Chain A
Amino acid sequence: MRIVPFLCSTAITIALVTLLDNSLGKIPPLGSFLSPQYGFWQNAEPINQDYGGKLLLTGIKGPVEVYFDERLVPHVFATNEEDLYFVQGYLHARFRLFQIDLQTRAAAGRASELAGSKAINFDREQRRLGMVFAAENALKEIEANATFRSFFDAYTAGVNSYIEQLTEAALPIEYKLLQNKPEKWSNLKTALLLKMMSKMLSAGTETDLANTNAKSIFMPNELQQLYPQVPDSLLPIVPIGTEFPKPAVIPIKPVNADSVYFNNKTTVAAQSLDRPDPGNGSNNWVVAGTKTKSGYPILANDPHLELSLPSIWFEIQLKTPTHNSYGVSLPGSPFVVIGFNDSIAWGVTNSQRDVKDYYEIKFKDQSRSAYWFNNQWTPTKMRIEEIKVKDSLSVFDTVAYTVFGPVQFDNSFSNAAAADRNLAVRWAAHDPSNEGLTFFKLNKAHNYADYEEAIRTFTCPGQNFIFASRTGDIAIWQQGRFPARWEGQGLYVMPGEDSSYLWQGYIPQQENPHAINPARGYLQSANQRAADGTYPYFIPGSYITARGVRIDNKLAAMSGITPKDMMELHADYYNISAEDLRPVLLANIQEEQLQGKELAYLSIFRDWDLMASPDSKGQTVFQCFWDTVQASIWRDEIERTNPMAPWPIEQTTIEWLLRDTLHTYADNRNTPAVETLAMIVTSSFKKAALVLAAKEAEGKLVWSRYMNPSVYHLLKDALPAFARKGLAVGGYGNIVNAIKHSHGPSWRMIVHLIDGIEAYGVFPGGQSGNPGSRYYDNNIAAWEKGEYNRCWYMRENDRTSEQVKWVLEFNKL
């Protein structure tokens, strides 16, 4: 033996293996990651992969057959419901494991386990918002119903059945990159997933903290002008003229509300770190047989959410001998969430209602162990939160719970330095509820009565459930458990020292805004206020008016409607806000002050066809110009407090301009001169022209280049290669085809309720969450072009059809 060379080469071998077995910063362990047998190569699925097979599993009662079609949509045929949801859980895990694991960990405030210390504040806010508290409350309600619990149990067993057989090589690629392992599923995780949706759709629809700052600088009449409740141009969900019954609940305004609440001028420094996009909206509409060519109703829905890869939706058909539903499911939860069966179709949009309020808490001392409530010191419940951090020590946080809810902001947690205020959050999502039950019942519903019974218990996030049946009924309900508020309740931080400012009750379910078989033959919702000013309850929210007006105008004018007409409406790029605004803006531009490029942009704007199409330059000029106008009008006003008061919503500004009554706000407070609207509009155009010229130099004057529509991977900028960027689509938040940079129609569905059901659907992604699969992004091209896949609604005798590409059989071990 040659000792020295032997020892040297052995040492180098060991050192090299060790080096390659460990991650270096963001770089995964190169040895295992590049190993063709263990690493990412194992995630490169053969493009002719066979998804069929035979599985023998415990936890399943009888045989279940899964028929995959050419788009990898599973059509699950089970003999009973437990087996059905077991297999749905298995399939969600098989194709979306990293997604469901990441989303539920993030929902529970455990993102730091994967992302490290940069996610600590996100995690603390999740815990302080009471996300786990909310999921636990929901789970108690869910598990109180033994039958329903068995579905959750079966779903959980299905997910775990897949996880348990996973080898290192078969782990999703994200785990290999992040050096982590999937966690076992539980019913609590399913509840957390649903709370993630609650947060997405009902935690960003209020601006109470910013409103409180607005109240410190604006007079009550100004607040009404800047933040009105009912827009002039509103076309509500419930047709105008509908009579509402006398309210059964009449909340009483506290006697001291004027002095300690409305006239309280104290500002609040706290701000949410992770505020959900208030544009998490959606469209849905339904036309009755009287307006369609076939004589049967057509239902359409397109939920607008953050667009991600993998998609938030997973297409699936769920069949037992007693029901047969098809649509999209949320990976991490059983049931079809938006879809149809052989009798009905349903869809949802967000209600945009404010169901989250803040209360100011007075603690006895620094320990936060007691707070002043109804004239005595009341003990808080303390919840100690351990946040585990990747590559670091755990961080501990203590959250005090009051009668209102958890104290989200206090001196140990706030983004702002001046954290001397203790704010407890009262959020409808904290209340015990079982939203899954609604979807379970909808999956099996036969008619209007079943639908109404199914949605009745749905609590949070409030949704506009639209409905159509084979028998010709159409309907919509804005459903949720909404607080019955006195006028102005919950717009601002409320006093939390006694019970007088608590929610006094809820709007009775039967009084929720709804409409059934209207004479006009259509119903629509697009995140607008559900009812006009005659609705007898105070219902603040973050409403969007423009899309609903456009959809209503189009549907009113249509007749002999076919599914193709509905596809065209989904793809509609017409900018109805610009239709209103262009004449006002053009009338106020002092053209003699413009020169060169500015004049060129002005003529683009003037000649624009009002379409926000991908190749439009007019839309780019308009949006850039209009954003500058809004900033010029409002910034000087709302920046008088820090943090800022909320921006008045676009619709408010449009209506002020149309009424020509904006003059006092047009003036810039920060300059000695008195600016007129014409001066503001002209200087805004000049400012916008500079931005536009810079964009034009980069070749980005065309709308789709300017907006850069993109679908990101769930880990965003950490994995840019897994994103699909620069899609050739137009649209905007105020446009029916509501595509923004990385946000928009996450599932477009059209269901024609003829015999046999004719349904179409598409989402910008694919069934598989694996970037190494051809089914990762295979639907993006169709979505981009506004095309649809025909949903194959399989029946019992289709088992041997040529449309079946693979069969996966489950049997009891």
Chain B
Amino acid sequence: MAILDGATILARISVSESEYQLLRLMEKKGIVVGREYSSDEIADMVGMSRSSVEALLRLLASKGLVELREHVVEEYVITDEAKKYLEEGFPEEKLVQLLVKAGGELSVEEVNRVLGREASIALANASRKGWVRIQAGKVVLIIDPARAVAEERAALEKVLQGEKLSQHELRMLRRRKLVDVKHKRMTLFSLPRSISELLSSVVVEVGALTRELIESGRWREVRLREYDVSAQPPKRFPGRLNFFAQFIEHIRDIMKELGFTEIEASPVELEFWNYDVLFQPQFHPARGPSDTFYLSRPSEARLPEKLAENVRRAHEEGIAGSIGWRYKWEPSKAAKLILRSHTTAVSARILSTRPSPPFRYFSIGRVYRVETIDPKHLPEFHQVDGIASEEGVNLRWLIGMLSEFLERLGFREYKFRPAYFPFTEPSIEGYVKIGDTWLEILGAGLFRPEMLAALGVDYPVAAWGMGIERLAMALYDLRDIRQLYSIDVEFLASMPSRWWIYAGTEI
């Protein structure tokens, strides 16, 4: 698959793409093997910045591909005084010109006056160089003025040009403090072998495999850098379905599996369907503003007359062999609008159509109760409600159906206890064991004969309901019910899935 076999590639020295490119450029520019170059020189040749060239060369050196020698060089820098002399003329040169103007001689006093502070330097150097003679208080020119050029000037020009100075010149300049000496560390690079040889002993290592590498086929010539595979990756959050919504869908699927047909109704109900039809008397403590949410707008609806009359009789006088609750039933109370307090209201609606058995219906929806929000309570939560009728529906059948439901949810330890609901008789409660605690999760029973008779239903109907939030909290190990409605998007996106719940794995 590749031109080079794996072993060859491994034997080669890894270089980065930029190291490789530098070597290629150096080859192109004709770098001489064995000769030492400063990084400046190489930078100039290849047209890159010195700092990056030096960094790359050092990396190549660490891999033994180039040689490097650190050494210290002296470097001369002309002083400010020297710069001034170069521009304005050396003091001794100025003296010669002064004397020429004066006709060849001038009193010392006059020289001092004209040249000021430079006078003594001018006199000393001109005398030393044999350009003037001092006689009886007078300075006398003794050289051809055309030849009176300071030799220091040429030496300084050399420094400026970067040329090497002779020992004599150096001494001369240093004596007059015209140059400073600086020590400079310098790295010199040289190639031990020809670049083509070097290139054949390396392989380019890259971080990312790019489209360019693939398209050009160059992936064959490169080595993909090895990673620290145990390093922590960055966190990435996916688009995500809500875990609690998924749990509700799971319950839907279980109900479907058990042969139930889904139904649904508005969460705004008449008290009638929520309570009266269910034979819950109007004086029941839950039928008041401390437990039930009443609507201010809209506040009431019309009652279905015929059914309302049946319900009235069931409550006031009793029907179907019952003695009834024996109080005055108020239609106006039944007509009030509320937010349903249980999904049994939905079951009551479907039962009012007198479906023919066998049937199984369920609904899942939000229900509402006057509760202050705290870690255990919300004024709204979800319930699943199921009703069923068929040949042989009775308490034992109901316990069997509930057992099946609980087992499909994953529970193997559960129990039933007697309970009370106004609309079922007998009534039972289901408990499941999660960890060390028994959690009460469902209520069930056979609908009361009074309720069924008022609806015109003449067969037994089993019913049960379960709150979903408490179960979801237990199965997801949540301490606060509000986490099911979390507004923390990071929490929602990073919440680990408990997929085994959906598999019905034993809890």
Do A and B pair up? The answer is no
- Interface residues of chain B, those whose CB is within 8 Å of chain A, are none
A interface list, Cβ under 8 A from B: none
